[in-house]
A and B are shown apart, each in its own frame.
Chain A
Protein backbone atom coordinates (compact mmCIF):
# COMPACT_ATOMS: atom_id res chain seq x y z
CA UNK A 1 0.00 0.00 0.00
CA UNK A 2 1.42 3.44 -0.91
CA UNK A 3 2.92 5.40 1.97
CA UNK A 4 3.92 8.93 2.83
CA UNK A 5 7.54 8.78 3.97
CA UNK A 6 9.04 11.26 6.40
CA UNK A 7 12.67 11.74 7.36
CA UNK A 8 14.24 11.94 9.82
CA UNK A 9 12.05 10.18 12.35
CA UNK A 10 13.62 12.20 15.15
CA UNK A 11 15.59 15.44 15.00
CA UNK A 12 17.22 17.26 17.86
CA UNK A 13 18.31 20.83 17.24
CA UNK A 14 19.54 23.79 19.23
CA UNK A 15 17.32 26.81 19.67
CA UNK A 16 17.88 29.32 16.89
CA UNK A 17 19.05 26.74 14.36
CA UNK A 18 17.34 26.07 11.06
CA UNK A 19 15.78 22.67 10.43
CA UNK A 20 14.37 21.06 7.32
CA UNK A 21 11.86 18.26 7.63
CA UNK A 22 11.46 16.08 4.58
CA UNK A 23 8.52 14.22 3.15
CA UNK A 24 7.97 12.04 0.12
CA UNK A 25 4.24 12.10 -0.65
CA UNK A 26 2.42 9.35 -2.52
CA UNK A 27 3.49 9.59 -6.13
CA UNK A 28 0.15 10.37 -7.84
CA UNK A 29 -1.04 12.76 -5.14
CA UNK A 30 -1.30 16.45 -5.95
CA UNK A 31 -2.14 18.05 -2.59
CA UNK A 32 0.35 18.20 0.24
CA UNK A 33 0.01 19.22 3.86
CA UNK A 34 1.93 19.74 7.06
CA UNK A 35 0.40 19.28 10.50
CA UNK A 36 1.96 19.30 13.93
CA UNK A 37 1.09 17.76 17.26
CA UNK A 38 2.65 19.08 20.44
CA UNK A 39 2.98 16.29 23.00
CA UNK A 40 -0.37 15.61 24.61
CA UNK A 41 -2.19 18.17 22.48
CA UNK A 42 -4.36 18.19 19.38
CA UNK A 43 -3.19 17.71 15.83
CA UNK A 44 -3.00 21.19 14.28
CA UNK A 45 -3.08 22.24 10.65
CA UNK A 46 -0.08 24.23 9.42
CA UNK A 47 -0.22 24.54 5.65
CA UNK A 48 -1.55 23.05 2.45
CA UNK A 49 0.26 23.16 -0.89
CA UNK A 50 -1.02 22.63 -4.41
CA UNK A 51 0.34 23.42 -7.85
CA UNK A 52 3.62 24.68 -6.40
CA UNK A 53 2.09 27.23 -4.10
CA UNK A 54 0.56 27.52 -0.67
CA UNK A 55 -3.21 27.21 -0.86
CA UNK A 56 -4.05 27.62 2.83
CA UNK A 57 -2.10 28.28 6.01
CA UNK A 58 -2.92 28.61 9.67
CA UNK A 59 -1.93 31.28 12.16
CA UNK A 60 0.82 28.97 13.38
CA UNK A 61 2.52 29.09 9.99
CA UNK A 62 4.29 32.43 10.41
CA UNK A 63 7.35 33.87 8.68
CA UNK A 64 9.62 31.37 10.43
CA UNK A 65 8.07 28.57 8.40
CA UNK A 66 8.34 27.84 4.71
CA UNK A 67 7.50 24.93 2.44
CA UNK A 68 8.98 23.83 -0.82
CA UNK A 69 8.64 21.12 -3.40
CA UNK A 70 12.20 21.18 -4.71
CA UNK A 71 11.72 18.33 -7.18
CA UNK A 72 9.04 15.94 -8.33
CA UNK A 73 9.07 13.78 -5.24
CA UNK A 74 10.04 15.71 -2.11
CA UNK A 75 8.03 18.15 -0.02
CA UNK A 76 9.89 20.01 2.73
CA UNK A 77 9.06 22.11 5.75
CA UNK A 78 11.73 24.57 6.87
CA UNK A 79 11.81 26.29 10.23
CA UNK A 80 14.30 29.15 10.02
CA UNK A 81 15.12 29.85 13.65
CA UNK A 82 13.73 27.19 15.93
CA UNK A 83 12.19 28.00 19.29
CA UNK A 84 11.61 25.71 22.24
CA UNK A 85 7.87 25.79 21.53
CA UNK A 86 8.46 24.34 18.06
CA UNK A 87 9.15 20.98 19.71
CA UNK A 88 6.43 18.67 18.40
CA UNK A 89 5.63 15.83 16.05
CA UNK A 90 5.36 17.13 12.51
CA UNK A 91 3.18 15.13 10.15
CA UNK A 92 3.18 15.37 6.39
CA UNK A 93 0.08 14.27 4.50
CA UNK A 94 -0.96 14.01 0.88
CA UNK A 95 -4.17 13.50 -1.04
CA UNK A 96 -4.99 12.81 -4.65
CA UNK A 97 -7.76 15.26 -5.25
CA UNK A 98 -7.89 17.58 -2.25
CA UNK A 99 -11.34 16.66 -1.01
CA UNK A 100 -9.78 14.80 1.86
CA UNK A 101 -10.98 11.34 0.99
CA UNK A 102 -7.89 9.16 1.08
CA UNK A 103 -5.88 11.72 3.02
CA UNK A 104 -2.73 9.80 3.95
CA UNK A 105 -0.45 10.83 6.79
CA UNK A 106 3.19 9.94 7.27
CA UNK A 107 4.54 8.58 10.53
CA UNK A 108 5.92 11.94 11.52
CA UNK A 109 9.17 13.60 12.52
CA UNK A 110 9.66 14.24 16.20
CA UNK A 111 11.42 17.60 16.51
CA UNK A 112 13.08 18.38 19.81
CA UNK A 113 14.46 21.89 20.28
CA UNK A 114 16.92 22.22 23.15
Chain B
Protein backbone atom coordinates (compact mmCIF):
# COMPACT_ATOMS: atom_id res chain seq x y z
CA UNK B 1 0.00 0.00 0.00
CA UNK B 2 1.37 3.41 -1.00
CA UNK B 3 2.15 5.57 2.00
CA UNK B 4 2.05 8.84 0.07
CA UNK B 5 -0.29 9.60 -2.81
CA UNK B 6 -0.84 12.82 -4.71
CA UNK B 7 -3.63 14.17 -6.87
CA UNK B 8 -4.15 15.20 -9.51
CA UNK B 9 -1.37 13.56 -11.50
CA UNK B 10 -1.25 16.57 -13.82
CA UNK B 11 -2.88 19.98 -13.73
CA UNK B 12 -3.07 22.69 -16.37
CA UNK B 13 -4.00 26.17 -15.25
CA UNK B 14 -4.33 29.49 -16.95
CA UNK B 15 -2.14 32.22 -15.54
CA UNK B 16 -3.97 33.70 -12.55
CA UNK B 17 -6.22 30.66 -12.07
CA UNK B 18 -5.83 29.52 -8.46
CA UNK B 19 -6.02 25.85 -7.47
CA UNK B 20 -4.90 23.28 -4.91
CA UNK B 21 -2.81 20.13 -5.02
CA UNK B 22 -3.52 17.26 -2.67
CA UNK B 23 -1.22 14.91 -0.78
CA UNK B 24 -2.59 12.01 1.26
CA UNK B 25 -0.33 10.12 3.60
CA UNK B 26 -0.26 7.27 6.06
CA UNK B 27 -0.50 8.82 9.49
CA UNK B 28 1.25 6.18 11.58
CA UNK B 29 4.86 7.08 12.40
CA UNK B 30 4.83 10.42 10.62
CA UNK B 31 7.48 12.88 11.75
CA UNK B 32 6.91 15.58 9.19
CA UNK B 33 5.36 16.39 5.83
CA UNK B 34 7.42 18.17 3.21
CA UNK B 35 6.72 19.86 -0.09
CA UNK B 36 9.33 20.11 -2.81
CA UNK B 37 9.36 21.60 -6.29
CA UNK B 38 11.18 19.71 -9.04
CA UNK B 39 12.05 21.18 -12.42
CA UNK B 40 12.88 18.82 -15.31
CA UNK B 41 16.35 17.30 -14.97
CA UNK B 42 16.89 18.91 -11.56
CA UNK B 43 16.86 17.78 -7.97
CA UNK B 44 13.95 18.53 -5.65
CA UNK B 45 13.96 22.04 -4.20
CA UNK B 46 12.70 22.41 -0.65
CA UNK B 47 9.55 24.49 -0.19
CA UNK B 48 7.87 23.75 3.15
CA UNK B 49 7.87 21.53 6.21
CA UNK B 50 4.71 20.88 8.23
CA UNK B 51 4.71 19.01 11.50
CA UNK B 52 1.26 19.20 13.04
CA UNK B 53 -2.37 19.32 11.93
CA UNK B 54 -3.58 22.88 11.47
CA UNK B 55 -0.16 24.19 10.59
CA UNK B 56 0.18 26.48 7.57
CA UNK B 57 3.24 27.84 5.77
CA UNK B 58 3.33 30.47 3.02
CA UNK B 59 5.86 31.52 0.44
CA UNK B 60 4.96 33.96 -2.34
CA UNK B 61 2.03 32.43 -4.26
CA UNK B 62 2.21 29.09 -2.42
CA UNK B 63 0.58 28.06 0.82
CA UNK B 64 0.87 24.61 2.37
CA UNK B 65 -1.60 23.29 4.92
CA UNK B 66 -1.77 20.10 6.93
CA UNK B 67 -4.72 18.15 8.30
CA UNK B 68 -4.65 14.84 10.15
CA UNK B 69 -4.37 12.80 6.96
CA UNK B 70 -3.86 15.23 4.07
CA UNK B 71 -1.80 18.16 3.02
CA UNK B 72 -2.71 20.76 0.44
CA UNK B 73 -0.53 23.05 -1.60
CA UNK B 74 -2.58 26.06 -2.61
CA UNK B 75 -1.38 28.09 -5.54
CA UNK B 76 -2.81 31.60 -5.77
CA UNK B 77 -2.73 33.48 -9.07
CA UNK B 78 -0.03 31.26 -10.57
CA UNK B 79 2.45 32.43 -13.17
CA UNK B 80 4.10 30.39 -15.95
CA UNK B 81 7.29 30.19 -13.88
CA UNK B 82 5.36 28.16 -11.31
CA UNK B 83 5.22 25.31 -13.84
CA UNK B 84 7.01 22.32 -12.32
CA UNK B 85 6.36 19.00 -10.64
CA UNK B 86 5.37 19.43 -7.00
CA UNK B 87 6.41 16.58 -4.74
CA UNK B 88 5.01 15.73 -1.37
CA UNK B 89 7.27 13.71 0.93
CA UNK B 90 6.51 12.20 4.31
CA UNK B 91 9.24 11.56 6.80
CA UNK B 92 8.58 8.49 8.91
CA UNK B 93 10.46 7.17 11.90
CA UNK B 94 13.03 4.67 10.68
CA UNK B 95 12.30 5.16 6.97
CA UNK B 96 13.63 8.55 5.97
CA UNK B 97 11.66 10.23 3.20
CA UNK B 98 8.83 8.57 1.32
CA UNK B 99 8.02 10.61 -1.75
CA UNK B 100 4.71 10.80 -3.55
CA UNK B 101 4.55 10.51 -7.34
CA UNK B 102 4.16 14.26 -7.79
CA UNK B 103 1.72 16.58 -9.51
CA UNK B 104 2.88 18.04 -12.85
CA UNK B 105 1.68 21.62 -12.94
CA UNK B 106 1.57 23.60 -16.17
CA UNK B 107 0.63 27.26 -16.04
CA UNK B 108 -0.25 28.69 -19.42
CA UNK B 109 0.23 32.39 -20.19
Interface residues of A (CB under 8 A from B): 4, 33, 35, 41-45, 48, 56, 58, 89, 91, 93, 99-108, 110
| B96 pairs with A58, CB closer than 8 A | yes
Contacting residues, chain B, for A101 (C-beta < 8 A): 49
Whether B96 contacts A48 by the Cβ 8 Å rule is yes
Interface of B is mostly: strand
- CB-CB under 8 A for A100 and B34, given A56-B94, A105-B44, A108-B42: yes
The residue in B36, B99, B100 that gathers the most chain A C-beta atoms within 10 A of its C-beta is B99
Report whether B87 and A33 are in contact in the complex, using a CB–CB cutoff of 8 Å.
no
B46 / chain A contacts, CB cutoff of 8 Å: 102-105
B18-63: which residues lie under 8 A (CB-CB) from chain A? Answer: 32, 34, 36, 41-46, 49
Mind listing 26 A-B residue pairs with CB under 8 Å?
A: A33-B96, A41-B101, A42-B99, A42-B100, A42-B101, A42-B102, A43-B44, A45-B95, A45-B96, A48-B96, A56-B94, A58-B96, A89-B41, A91-B44, A93-B43, A100-B32, A100-B34, A100-B49, A103-B34, A103-B46, A104-B46, A105-B36, A105-B44, A106-B43, A107-B43, A108-B42
Smallest CB–CB gap between A9 and chain B, Å?
Answer: 9
User: Quick check: is B98 within 8 A (CB to CB) of the other chain?
Assistant: yes
Indicate whether A100 sits within 8 Å of B101 (C-beta atoms), given known contacts A93-B43, A108-B42: no
CB pair A100–B97 under 8 Å, yes or no, is: yes
Does A107 contact B42, Cβ atoms closer than 8 Å? yes
